[in-house]
Amino acid sequence: MIGLLTFKEEIAGILSSLTAMSPAEVYSLLEIPPEAGMGEYAFPCFALARLQKKPPHIIAAELADRIKPGSFSGEAQNKGPYLNFYINRPYLFEKLLPEITGAGDGYGKEEENNHTIVIDYSAPNIAKPFGVGHLRSTVIGSALYRLYRALGYRVVGINHIGDWGTQFGKLIVAFRRWGDSSELEKDPVHYLYQLYVQFHQEAEKDPDLDEEARYWFRQLELGDEDAVGMWEHFRGLSLIEFQRLYRLMGIEFDSYQGESFYNDMLDETVELVREKGLLKESEGALLADLEPHGLPPCLLRKKDGAALYMTRDLAAAIYRYKKYRFSKLLYVVGAEQTLHFKQFFKLLELLGFSWAGDCVHVPFGLIHFKDGRMSTREGKVVFLEDVIDKAVDMAQNIIREKNPDLANKEEAAKMVGLGAIIFGDLVNDRIKDVEFDWDKVLDFSGETAPYIQYAHARICSILRKAKGGSVTADLGEGRIAGGLVGELARAEGLLEAPEEEQLLITLARFKEQMRRAAEEYRPSFLARYLLDLARDFNKFYHNCPVLTAAGGLKEARLLLIDGVRVVLHNGLDLLGIEAPEEM
RNA sequence: GCACCUGUAGCUCAGAGGACAGAGCACCGGAUUCCUAAUCCGGGUGCCGCAGGUUCGAUCCCUGCCAGGUGCACCA
């Protein structure tokens, strides 16, 4: 692998050979210096100072002396107690840029390994509209899916649809009482949602409705023909709606096996818990007692015999391991369910599954309004589709104003509007709560996807002009990189402007950030990186003309921005965002 | 009551135990005969919630407290 990842490893190797530290120790101590001009990586010598009982600045000076210039692809300089490492610019230019532009769409992809990662994300409830509350699980899960796939894993995306449970009892009751088939066919999800809200309103006044709903859910579990028929109908209509939304947003799944899929595995799951001596009966219900492990007990069967969320999750995990033999199973589910997952994973461990430790809850914060949380029951939701429509409309208006000659405005507007929504959700640390704010969703300036897309479109525009209309035509800039550059670069001052250097350095950090985002399940690392890269490009753009630059410099800059284009494009793609060539 | 998460500029948020704590928004001013001004440049703000502790060094780790959020047996 070429790039700073290798460079960082290279440094770790060199320092390890000169000190008593292992490469891994050195690697974890290496940091990115706070200022440009201090190099690309720095090694603080305090830890060594302690081991060697010498002042850190002396150690830094000694190490700098012992690292010979030319012994690797960079050089080292001591500065106070730090040892700063500078990567050779021609190295970046001759090796990194051709690697990026050569690989194109494939840049950032690793060779396939034989590990499987199963990711459970999105999981909307049937018969409830897809609200912005579901957006987070969907886009975070989708980004992780794309990241791990690029890193060479076999990835299985599962949409654990909420297609079973007492809400179907409620829906059946509501539809039998107030339902209208033609209304249902017109706009199924919204209509079912209306019925759902109406049910809760009426149930306030008439508690018998809840009892009736429980009855109908029991009928459903018993396989009553009418109940099952209605369930299938509702489910089918909802799925079609969801899939339309996923298609619009470019979200993929390999499986739609939802909660109902595990219905006939629940008995044996409960039996398994019983066999392990973990099952207790209490007030007519069956539960697993986790008291000895400092956790509250978890119910597996209600007193009426119905299974619960936990029971289904157990059955699903066991099934998934049998089917996929995963190395990891990720649950991209809200932080409010942290306790559930603690219980769930502990139970898997107690049941003796060796893979229990490979299950990971990837939590995220709540979306709420200024005046409180969203509630489906109370009808306090914002439909995702409304958000998308508004964002795309807004994007289209801006395009009409700024780029009236653009041929396919609709397509660009869709990429920009959707990008803004997805990016807005990924850019901040997922654990934090977010407030839903229309102004913020519809803001396309500053730290947003459109900012990045705009940088990408600008690059494409330059490339088109340089290459007679085609962004990707090969004019052979590569030749200037392929060996020629060493002397030429120095003679002509190629890529020595601070903006150019910074761009090269930032490009070189892409793979490292990708890996970090995947390892910590935090797509925000990648999102922030892309903002940095776009920012570096915009500075470059304003200070370094490309098309009017002389000979070699022009070709060098074309190669540079082509590299930026590839990384912006691929990086956005990993987040599930498209990059228009014009906007 | 107990547990978990969060607390950084007016607002929204970055910040990988390390060098003087950074962006965006908002506000004011400037840049377009020149590759898309969704851009760029300049202008200034901080008891990093509070108090201790560990460390050569803490916004980051530990303890306590305060504030907000979320959970804690028949919803998911």
Cβ(A128)–Cβ(A384) below 8 Å: no
Rounded Cα distance, A210 and A447, in Å: 47
CA of A262 to C1' of B65 (A): 47
More confident residue, A306 or A379: A306
Digit-coded pLDDT (tens) for A113-130:
999 999 999 999 987 788
* Statement: the CB of A302 is under 7 Å from strand B: yes
CA of A434 to C1' of B68 (A): 13
| The pLDDT of residue A467 | 80
Cβ(A526)–Cβ(A514) below 8 Å: yes
Tokens in use for A158? 């599962």
| The pLDDT of residue A493 | 65
Cβ(A74)–Cβ(A91) below 8 Å: yes
Q: What is the mean pLDDT of chain A?
A: 90
| The pLDDT of residue A2 | 43
Task: Compute the CA torsion angle A437, A364, A142, A582 (nearest 10 deg).
Answer: 30
Residue A326, SS3 per DSSP:
coil
Calculate ∠ Cα A355-A361-A367, nearest 5°: 165
Nearest to A316 by CA among A329, A328, A332, A335: A329
pLDDT at A483 over 70: no
pLDDT at A441 over 50: yes
- The residue behind tokens 């070189």 is A508
| The pLDDT of residue A487 | 53
Residue A66, SS3 per DSSP:
helix
Chain B bases closer than 7 A to any CB of the protein? 4-6, 12-16, 18-20, 22-26, 34-41, 56-57, 69-76
* Statement: the CB of A299 is under 7 Å from strand B: yes
Q: Of A390-399, A496-505, A543-552, give the range with the top mean pLDDT.
A: A390-399
pTM above 0.80, yes or no: yes
Digit-coded pLDDT (tens) for A352-401:
999 999 999 999 999 988 777 777 777 678 899 999 999 999 999 999 99
Among all strands, which nt has the closest C1' to A456 (CA)?
A: B36
pLDDT at A286 over 80: yes
User: In A265-337, where does DSSP find H-type helix?
Assistant: 266-275, 309-324
* Statement: the CB of A37 is under 7 Å from strand B: no
| The pLDDT of residue A1 | 38
What string of H, E and C letters represents the secondary structure of A459-523?
A: HHHHHHHHCCCCCCCCCCCHHHHCCCHHHHHHHHCCCCCHHHHHHHHHHHCHHHHHHHHHHCCCC
Tell me phi and psi for residue A255, to 5 degrees: -150, 140
Residue A282: band (very low, low, confident or very high) from pLDDT cuts 50, 70, 90: very high
* Statement: the CB of A444 is under 7 Å from strand B: yes
| The pLDDT of residue A432 | 95
Residue A25: band (very low, low, confident or very high) from pLDDT cuts 50, 70, 90: confident
Q: For chain A, give the number of residues.
A: 583
Residue A3: band (very low, low, confident or very high) from pLDDT cuts 50, 70, 90: very low
pLDDT at A448 over 70: yes
Residue type, A493: G
Taking residues A423-434, what's their average pLDDT? 95
Nearest to A149 by CA among A576, A520, A574: A574
Rounded Cα distance, A269 and A573, in Å: 40
* Statement: the CB of A252 is under 7 Å from strand B: no
| The pLDDT of residue A376 | 73
Rounded Cα distance, A334 and A133, in Å: 10
Torsional sign, CA A533, A534, A536, A537: positive
DSSP secondary structure letters along A385-449: HHHHHHHHHHHHHHHHHH-TT-S-HHHHHHHHHHHHHHHHHHSS-TTS-EE--HHHHT--SSSSH
* Statement: the CB of A450 is under 7 Å from strand B: yes
Rounded Cα distance, A118 and A138, in Å: 14
How would you class A105 by CB atoms within 10 Å of its CB: exposed for 0-12, middle for 13-18, buried for 19 or more?
exposed
Nearest to A579 by CA among A499, A425, A440, A459: A459
- The residue behind tokens 């292992």 is A22
| The pLDDT of residue A20 | 86
Residue A529: band (very low, low, confident or very high) from pLDDT cuts 50, 70, 90: very high
pLDDT at A211 over 80: yes
Digit-coded pLDDT (tens) for A41-82:
999 999 899 888 889 999 999 999 998 777 677 889 999 999
Tokens in use for A393? 């409309």
ipTM of the complex: 0.96
Nearest to A83 by CA among A104, A61, A68: A61
Digit-coded pLDDT (tens) for A218-251:
889 889 999 999 999 999 999 999 999 999 999 9
Protein residue closest to B18, using CA and C1': A44
Quick one: what percent of chain A has pLDDT higher than 70? 95
Within A 529-558, residues with CB less than 7 Å from strand B: 531, 535, 538-539, 541-542, 544-548
pLDDT at A87 over 90: no
Protein residue closest to B34, using CA and C1': A545
| Least confident range of A257-266, A303-312, A315-324 | A303-312
Rounded Cα distance, A568 and A415, in Å: 14
Tokens in use for A334? 């809200």
| The pLDDT of residue A377 | 72
* Statement: the CB of A342 is under 7 Å from strand B: no
Protein residue closest to B20, using CA and C1': A34
Tokens in use for A406? 């653009």
Rounded Cα distance, A64 and A27, in Å: 17
Crossing angle of helices A485-492 and A551-575, rounded to 10°: 110
Domains of chain A: 4-87 (3.30.1360.70), 392-428+435-575 (1.10.730.10)
CA of A209 to C1' of B71 (A): 28
Within A 50-89, residues with CB less than 7 Å from strand B: 50, 79-80, 82, 84
| The pLDDT of residue A89 | 81
Nearest to A240 by CA among A256, A254, A262: A256
- The residue behind tokens 């807004």 is A394
